Amino acid sequence: MAKIHSGRKIICQIKPHDRTYAFIQSLKEHNVYIIKLSRNKSGTTFTLYEKDLSIVRKIRKQHRIPIHFIRPDTHSIIQFQGTTLLGLLSFILLPYLFSLFLWQISIDDVSDEREVKLQGELQELKVEERKMLGSLVSDSDIRQVLLAKNHDLSWIHIKRSGTKMQITSVPAPVITREQTDQKTPSDLVAFRRGIITHYDLSSGERLIPINETAEKGDVLVTGILKQGDKNIVVGAQGQVFADYWLEMSFQLPTKIVYDKFSSEQVKILQVAPAWKQFKKQQNFENLSEMVKSVFRIERETIVERTALDVNDQWIKEAFLPMLRLRTASTLTSKGKVKDEKVLHVTWTNDTVKGKVLYYMNDNIASKRPIHQGD
């Protein structure tokens, strides 16, 4: 007996003929596997595998016998074979597998240079496209690193949507200290107390030496120059930097409740019902419904409500660095925080209060118009 091979089947119909028996015997001699051989008044009918079709045709020519071939699955839209089922299974599994990876990172910033910088910092954190979502660092860690390297940003918004991540930077508010008309000649006056460290002037005459203390309201740089007996009004332009202390107070609840991104569920719906309906009635309308159901994927973001107990370690390692960054964001581009001291931290049943003293260096000068009668 010939070995049975899987493959597409062909139905052969032979009208009554005197050489039918010899034709069937010749097929057996050539190891053609015959299935469901039947004979009646209308002729002989049997089934064979399509792989033997070339042999059957060759023998048919030798016996000069007419044969009508019928493929029983020609009316089926989908052939239920291994490769077909494998293809349908891939339609279901591939979208799910793709949803496990990060495919797009978008960075929204007012500066193109900043976008390139943030992208490089994300790569250092191994936050890159085509990485598995489960292997990425948490949003809080990403935010903390980006804020630490970009002092002129007050916050980083991170939004995850499926396989996409959107990062939006929020610039620190610009503090406008000079409200006077730039064309009006002015003196530079101290708006806070500090020890003068250096001058950055384009015009004007210094009045307070370096390393001397300037009080609030003192004229640091005059815009009136003396030339002999005459006073020439030129106006003072520039900045005066000084060291000073700034006290910041904070108050926090002892327990912080927040929503944390946990995972994303991917649901593939109505695959089985549509497949059963399609097998009953194979037509294009049911095929369309089945394909729609195969690709009907619902994503649900799982948000986990987390409670954080505030303690000394969290204040020291997480909150104080963030407060320092927030304080530094209020400085000018050349300003900096040189040191900090925690004055005290007071704990109650539901709140924690504290004060932090920052030693800073920044511009302390603001413009004051020169009146012509001065």
pLDDT tens-digit readout, 111-127: 888 888 888 899 898 88
pLDDT tens-digit readout, 150-199: 877 777 888 888 788 889 888 766 555 545 455 688 899 999 999 999 99
pLDDT tens-digit readout, 262-271: 666 666 555 5
- Reading the block at residue 88, the tokens are 């349908």
Task: Write the DSSP string, 78-118.
Answer: S--SHHHHHHHHHHHHHHHHHTTEE-EEEEE-S-HHHHHHH
- On whether the CB atoms of residues 336 and 328 are closer than 8 A, the answer is yes
pLDDT tens-digit readout, 306-332: 788 888 888 888 888 888 888 888 888
Q: Cα–Cα distances in Å, from 63 out to 46, 50, 213?
A: 17, 20, 120
pLDDT at 343 over 80: yes
Task: For the chain, report the end-to-end CA distance as a whole number of angstroms.
Answer: 122
Write down the pLDDT at residue 1. 38
pLDDT at 371 over 80: no
C-alpha neighbours within 13 Å on the C-beta side of residue 110:
5
pLDDT tens-digit readout, 31-68: 888 888 888 888 899 888 888 888 888 988 888 888 88
Write down the pLDDT at residue 358. 94
- On whether the CB atoms of residues 264 and 213 are closer than 8 A, the answer is no
Q: Cα–Cα distances in Å, from 252 out to 18, 318, 328?
A: 103, 13, 20
CA distance 272 to 293: 9
CA distance 102 to 134: 10
- On whether the CB atoms of residues 233 and 185 are closer than 8 A, the answer is yes
- Reading the block at residue 132, the tokens are 């598995």
Average pLDDT (337-361) is 91
CA distance 356 to 313: 16
User: What is the SS3 assignment for 43-82?
Assistant: EEEEEEEHHHHHHHHHHHHHHCCCCEEECCCCCCCCCCCH
Write down the pLDDT at residue 292. 54
Write down the pLDDT at residue 5. 43
Q: Which domains does the chain have, with CATH numbers?
A: 9-70 (3.30.70.260), 183-254+310-374 (no CATH), 263-301 (no CATH)
